[in-house]
Amino acid sequence: MAIEVFNRYEHKYMLDRETFEKVIKILDEHMDMDSHNKDHTPYTISNIYFDTPDDYLIRTSLSKPDYKEKLRLRAYGIPDEDSKVFLEIKKKFKGIVNKRRTKLKLNEAYKFITSGKAPEPKDYMNAQVLHELEYFLKIYNLSPKLYLAYDRIAYFEKNNRDLRISFDMNIRSRRYDLALEKGDYGERLLPEDVYLMEIKTSLAKPLWLTHLLAELDIKRTRFSKYGTEFKNMINHTEHDEIEYKEVV
């Protein structure tokens, strides 16, 4: 059964290709590769992020408050209307990430978000999370704002399933065709040879991992995929407005 409730720290790091390859070699000695990965082949995650007409959720997030939250619809690959997807609330309070999600069929998820009324729970749904999502949808007037996808390689520690390390690459996004079933395409968010590494755990990092980070001089960074795309969009819009004023 997929885990539907998470409470953990999520630390992020930007790697170039050379560092990424060094890290992968070390992880292969200490960790098991995610079952979705075969021979280091990435799998694709696609998301639709929802926000208010004035982008309240992402604007609040970028102001770095103690508490922030977001709603997204997630699929693995390109779903059709009967495919199972995840509708999830992601919250962060003073560095601790809480993620609560439930499986839904894609058409059920769209109907839920549009109507604001939770479906009758089925055996593949989490009834408690459905109630929380329904409340979230009552608080905010949400609509789809961003499609964002990436390719991922992920690991679990052999004797500690709490520790997960993932690498996201080829991050792409679009603000049109905002439906998961319409396909996997968009504009690249980061340069080709940049990898986003995330260390996710509710416990302390094991000693071998702290040594790895120190020996390769890998430093933590602040990075939000949705936040970075939103700032890029705002900067692009402001640039276009300046050019328009100059022409007029």
- Structure-block tokens of residue 65: 């408050």
pLDDT per residue over 143-158, tens digit each?
999 999 999 999 998 8
Rounded to whole angstroms, the Cα distance separating 98 from 51 reads 19
**pTM exceeds cut of 0.85:** yes
| DSSP letters spanning 218-239 | ---B---HHHHHHHHHHHHHHH
The arrangement of secondary structure in 5-247, i.e. its CATH architecture, is Alpha-Beta Barrel (3.20)
Structure confidence by residue, pLDDT tens digits, 56-83: 999 999 999 999 999 999 999 999 999 9
For 154-177, the pLDDT digits (tens) are 999 887 778 999 999 999 999 999
* Amino acid letter, residue 228: T
Q: What's the mean pLDDT when you consider all of the chain?
A: 92
For 189-202, letters b (16+ CB in 10 Å) and e give: bbeeebbbbbbbbe
Residue 154: exposure state from Cβ atoms within 10 A (0-12, 13-18, ≥19) = buried
Domains of the chain, residue spans: 5-247
Q: What is the pLDDT of residue 38?
A: 81
pLDDT at residue 154 in the model: 96
Arithmetic mean of pLDDT, 188-199: 96
- Residue pLDDT, tens place only, 221-233: 999 999 999 999 9
Question: Which carries the bigger pLDDT value, residue 51 or residue 248?
Answer: 51
Query: What pLDDT does 121 receive?
Result: 96
pLDDT of residue 3: 60
pLDDT of 238 reads 56
Q: Higher-confidence residue: 44 or 162? A: 44
Per-residue pLDDT band for 5 (boundaries 50, 70, 90) equals: low
